[in-house]
Structures are given as C-alpha cells and as structure tokens.
C-alpha cells in the first residue's frame, strides 16, 4: 500500500479510545462529510466510497462488547472479520485471545486503517483487500460480520456467504443495530448492548447494538 495512503489516514484521523471499549484505540474522525471530500480529492474520484473505516459502527461496537463478555467464543481460534472497516472486530477478537485475526475490506483506505489500528493496539491484524464474498469461505474458525446490512447489494450477498461458512463448521457472529436490510428471520439474537455512536452517522448518538448467530435453515 502506498505510503501516501497511510499518511492520509493518519493525517485525517485522531487516535482515541473507542466509547464503551476504552481498552481499544482507533484512528477515528469526527465528521464524515469533510473527510469524504478529502478522500474524493485524494483519489480524484467523486464516486469514492464514504470513509466507513474512520468510524466505529454500532454493529462492530456490539460485537466488541460481546467478545469482551464472552472471550471463549474466539480464544485460541482463527478469526476472520468481514467488512472490517477500522478493524475494530478483529482487534477486539485479538484482545479476547484469538490466535490470529484477518480483516477484509474492499476499501484501500480501510486496508491501511486496519493495519494501523492493529499496530496502535499492539496486535497484528492480517489484511485482505478485496471482495471476499465471491470466494469460498475463509480458512477460519469464527467469522465476525459487524454492520453489514446497510446496503441492499451487500446484504444480498453476505447472508449466503455466511451460511456457506457456517455449513462448513465456521462459527458466525453478526453485529447490527437493526439496519434496513437486516435478515432478522435468519438470525438468533445472543445479546444487546447500548452503544455510543455519533450523530454524524446515525439519527441518535446511542443505539441498541445487537449480536446474533445464524439460525439453522
């Protein structure tokens, strides 16, 4: 990854504790639109993706809290964090004792942020920068899917992929605050957390972040 992308991520964010998960520090932004404009300028692309990677999303916050309460879910296991964004779920899994963690995201800035955030927390997160949803399920014991159901196209592809993974014996945890495309009928709720987010992203700065497993079909 170009050093300039890393410099951009570090310049545009501030390393700070994650609300409710203060043991984790992430490179986070305060405002989404100015950062998005900066990304558009940096990439010379008006259609550049929103900088999801510069925020800790409600779904990921819920997974992080769940792993702190239930470290046995990931302890000693290989974890794959799909739609990783900042890498929050992968880092929470490593803090909970995962033997290794990979963060996968399609966004080049996310790939840089995941690695930088891992380093800032003294852990190593492997990074996969591509759309893994067309691949076979990864070689992992647990998949974490934090806040994946905000977009119809992504939602349509992620559930079959997670089901294929579960059919191969991979445990799946989903974290979500009740987004529009969440397939509630396919999910079994495990826990709910009151998570602190930001009105830059949400209608309220507190959300109910839920953690789910996949229901048997």
The verdict on 86 binding ligand SAM (CB under 6 A) reads yes
The dihedral built from the CA positions of residue 51, 45, 12 and 204, taken in this order, carries a sign that is negative
Residue 9 has phi, psi (to 5 degrees) of: -60, -45
Closer to ligand SAM by Cβ: residue 193 or 216? 193
Binding mask 151-180 for ligand SAM (x = CB under 6 A): ---x--------------------------
In whole angstroms, the minimum distance from the beta carbon of 211 to ligand SAM comes to 12
- Which residue, 96, 76, 92, is CA-closest to 84? 92
Residue nearer to ligand SAM on the CB measure, 54 or 214:
54
The residue within the footprint of ligand SAM, chosen from 149, 150, 193, 212 (CB under 6 A), is 150
Q: Closest CB to ligand SAM among 83 and 170?
A: 83
C-alpha closest to that of 56 among 213, 166, 193 = 193
DSSP H or E run through 138: none
If one asks whether residue 84 binds ligand SAM (CB under 6 A), the answer comes out as yes
What character string, x for contact with ligand SAM (CB under 6 A) and - otherwise, covers 37-76? ------------x--xx--xx-xx----------------
Q: Which is nearer to ligand SAM, 38 or 154 (CB)?
A: 154
Instruction: Give which of 99, 79, 97 is closest to 89, Cα–Cα.
Output: 79
Q: Which residue is nearest to ligand SAM (CB)?
A: 60
Please state, in angstroms and as integers, the Cα–Cα distance from residue 18 to each residue in 4, 55, 87, 120, 133, following that order.
25, 9, 12, 12, 28
CB 117 within 8 A of CB 86: yes
How far CA 115 is from CA of 92, 166, 167, 173, in Å, comes to: 14, 27, 30, 22
**Shortest approach of ligand SAM to residue 118 CB, angstroms?**
14
Contact yes or no for 184/215 (Cβ under 8 A)? no
Distance, in Å, from the CA atom of 142 to the CA atom of 67, rounded to the nearest integer, reads 12
Q: How far is the CB of 34 from ligand SAM (least distance, A)?
A: 18
Q: Which region, judged by CB under 6 A, interacts with ligand SAM, from 7-15, 37-45, 65-73, 125-133?
A: 125-133
Residues in touch with ligand SAM (CB under 6 A): 49, 52-53, 56-57, 59-60, 82-86, 88-89, 104-107, 110, 131-133, 146-147, 150, 154
């Amino acid at each position: 990854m170009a050093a300039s992308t890393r410099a951009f991520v570090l310049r545009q964010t501030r390393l700070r504790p994650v609300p409710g998960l203060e043991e984790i520090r992430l490179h986070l932004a305060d405002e989404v639109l100015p950062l998005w404009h900066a990304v558009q300028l940096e990439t010379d692309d008006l259609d550049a993706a929103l900088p999801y990677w510069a925020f800790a999303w409600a779904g990921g916050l819920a997974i992080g809290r769940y792993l702190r309460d239930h470290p046995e879910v990931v302890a000693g296991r290989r974890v794959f964090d799909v739609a990783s964004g900042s890498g929050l779920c992968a880092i929470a899994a490593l803090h909970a004792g995962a033997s290794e963690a990979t963060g996968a995201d399609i966004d080049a800035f996310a790939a840089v942020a995941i690695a930088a955030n891992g380093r800032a927390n003294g852990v190593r997160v492997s990074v996969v920068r591509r759309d893994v949803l067309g691949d076979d399920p990864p070689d992992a014991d647990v998949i974490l899917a934090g806040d994946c159901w905000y977009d119809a196209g992504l939602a349509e592809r992620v559930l079959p992929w997670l089901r294929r993974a579960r059919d191969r014996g991979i445990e799946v945890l989903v974290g979500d605050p009740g987004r529009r495309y969440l397939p509630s009928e396919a999910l079994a709720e495990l826990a709910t957390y009151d998570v602190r987010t930001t009105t830059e992203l949400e209608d309220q700065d507190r959300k109910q972040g839920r953690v789910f497993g996949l229901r048997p079909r």
